[in-house]
Amino acid sequence: MAVLMDGKALAAKIKAEIKAQAGALRAKGTVPGLAVVIVGSDPASLRYVKHKKRDCAECDIESYEYALPEETGMTELLELIDRLNRDPKVHGILVQMPLPKGYDEQRVLYSISPSKDVDAFHPENVGLISIGTPRFLPCTPAGVMAMLDAYGIDPKGRECVVVGRSNIVGKPQSMLLLQRHGTVTVCHSRTNNLAEVTRRADILVCAVGKMGLITGDMVKPGAVVVDVAMNVKPDGKLTGDVVFSEVEPKASCITPVPGGVGPMTRVMLLRNTITAAGGAL
């Protein structure tokens, strides 16, 4: 039976460290602040923003929420980001994605000051990550690495397979594993014989968003399986890309969905906010 990698418990431990750092910054006169901008009323985005607000409160980080109607224009949104870039009370800026149709998401992300880009999506921050000198680490891949560390799983010299090549997870995840001396293969929708590749993995990270993608016959016995995806089943419950009932008996360690990578993504955002405010984590 695989060890369940408990992201919820680990996130709670890291939150305590973040709260201590926030207190140290406040004692020096700096109140760490995170601005979250949401456009429209997407239920999933609203729920995620609510969680982020609660996380900030738990860690003594000031949360500034800007909820804009869907009909807000690009000009108005960019003007808000410009004000936040210049606001000394705001150390981190996050624009909740996806934006409604008609918005230029790339232009919006690029308008955020790199020094306040706590999602690490700005090309300057992506470049720093790629050369191994990051200002901030992208939240979900950083959360995965923190989980591997917490469970004593060293990528060095191991076959690491990342299924998914998004700018948010797949690509940066491959870079972080490579920087830790893993031998990394990135798979995607055009990969031939996906199962042959995934069966080589000592560490398998799945980040596609396709329910049931990874079945038991696609996993090497003893592999570490990290399921980043979060899909909604017809009954409303959440599940990842991995068929848990088939993969868990073969894996040495596995993340549950929910309760695995999700809480770690949110806590890494707080860690980046503390870093932006001048804290040491």
Q: What is the mean pLDDT of residues 125-129?
A: 97
- Per-residue pLDDT of 174-197, as tens digits, reads 999 999 999 999 999 899 999 999
Contacts of 261 (CB under 8 A, 6+ apart): 7, 140, 143, 144, 147, 226, 227, 228, 255
- Confidence at 149, pLDDT banded by 50, 70, 90: very high
205 pLDDT band, cuts 50/70/90, is very high
Neighbouring residues of 66: CB distance < 8 A, sequence distance ≥ 6: 35, 36, 37, 38, 80
User: Is the pLDDT score of 281 beyond 80?
Assistant: no
Q: What is the mean pLDDT of residues 19-23?
A: 97
Residue 14, helix vs strand vs coil: helix
Q: What distance in Å separates the CA atoms of residue 279 and residue 272, rounded to the nearest whole number?
A: 9
199 contact partners, CB below 8 Å, separation of at least 6: 218, 219, 220
The confidence score (pLDDT) of residue 1 equals 84
Kindly state the percentage of the chain with pLDDT values over 70. 99
Give the tokens for residue 67.
């909820």
Give me the pLDDT at residue 49, please. Answer: 82
CA distance 83 to 267: 25
Q: Which of 222, 151, 154 is nearest to 1 (CA)?
A: 222
Amino acid 280: pLDDT: 65
Q: What is the pLDDT of residue 279?
A: 75
pLDDT at 127 over 80: yes
Catalytic residue list: 52, 96, 119
Rounded to the nearest integer, the mean pLDDT of the chain is 95
Please write the tens of the pLDDT for every residue from 130-143: 999 999 999 999 99
Which tens digit of pLDDT belongs to each residue from 218-261?
Answer: 999 999 999 999 888 889 888 999 999 999 999 999 999 999 99
Cβ-Cβ contacts under 8 Å for 137 (sequence gap 6 or more):
120, 129, 145, 172, 176, 268, 272
Residue 44: pLDDT above 80? no
Query: Are 37 and 81 within 8 A, CB to CB?
Result: yes
Give Cβ neighbours of residue 13 (< 8 Å, ≥ 6 apart): none
| The two three-digit tokens of residue 93, written as one number | 């800026």
- Using omega within 30 degrees of 0 as the cis cutoff, is the peptide bond preceding 258 cis? yes
Query: How confident is the model at residue 140, as a pLDDT?
Result: 97
